[in-house]
Amino acid sequence: MINKFAILGLMIIGISCESREEITRQQYVVEGMNLYQTNCANCHQVDGSGLKDLYPPLAKTDLWQRVKMSELACIIKHGQKDSIRVNGKPYNAYMPANPKLQALDIAELMTYMREKWSPNKTIFSLDSARYALKNCP
């Protein structure tokens, strides 16, 4: 009997230690989804498909491999005035800034978008977001 409980206890500790970062990541994904739908989906659409040739897609794009994540974080926060190339196609409608989004919001958003559309489905940590925003051009 004691053995059983001990094993169970060890298992729980094991799972929780191993996945503390994973739990944070999943929380970021959930929060990020809400933020995405409020702030981004208008133009980029809920499924990330973009709006014709007016607003670029995020899903199934080379953005995730070609553009630095810190650069994307800066675009989300400060907007984009110049033309941007996505999948080889130029898009030149400007993107408005999102001054209300803080470092944590951006970390959550980036983590959500990575989960959905990037081959690299890792967390974009709060530290990374803070660092990126501090060094925006």
Partner 1 sequence: MQQKRIPLSKIVFVFLVVLGCQQEKKLPFLGPKEVGKQGDTLYHKIPDFKFLNQDSLWVSQKDMAGKIYVADFFFTTCPTICPTMKTQLLRIFDKFAEDDRVRILSHTIDPEYDGVRVLKDYAKKLNITSPRWNLVTGKKSDIYRLGEKSYMVTAQEDANEEGGFVHSGAFILVDQNRHVRGIYDGTKEEDVNHLIEDMTLLLKE
Applying CB under 8 A, the span of 21-29, 49-57, 101-109, 123-131 interacting with partner 1 comes to 49-57
Structure token digits, residue 87: 């999948």
What are the backbone dihedrals phi and psi of residue 48, each rounded to the nearest 5 degrees, phi first? 75, 20
Nearest to partner 1 of 43, 104 (CB atom) = 43
Q: Do residues 82 and 105 make contact, with C-beta atoms less than 8 angstroms apart? A: no
Q: Which CB atom, from 98 or from 118, has the smaller least distance to partner 1?
A: 98
11 binds partner 1 (CB under 8 A): no
Backbone angles phi, psi at 104, to 5 degrees: -65, -40
Q: Is 39 in the site for partner 1 (CB under 8 A)?
A: no
Burial class (CB in 10 A: 0-12, 13-18, 19+), 92: exposed
32/50 with CB nearer partner 1: 50
Please compute, for residue 45, the number of CA atoms within 13 A of its CA located in the half-sphere on the CB side: 12
Binding-site member from 6, 10, 11, 51 for partner 1 (CB under 8 A): 51
Position 84 contacts partner 1 (CB under 8 A):
no
Q: Which residues bind partner 1 (CB under 8 A)?
A: 42-43, 45, 51-55, 93-94, 96
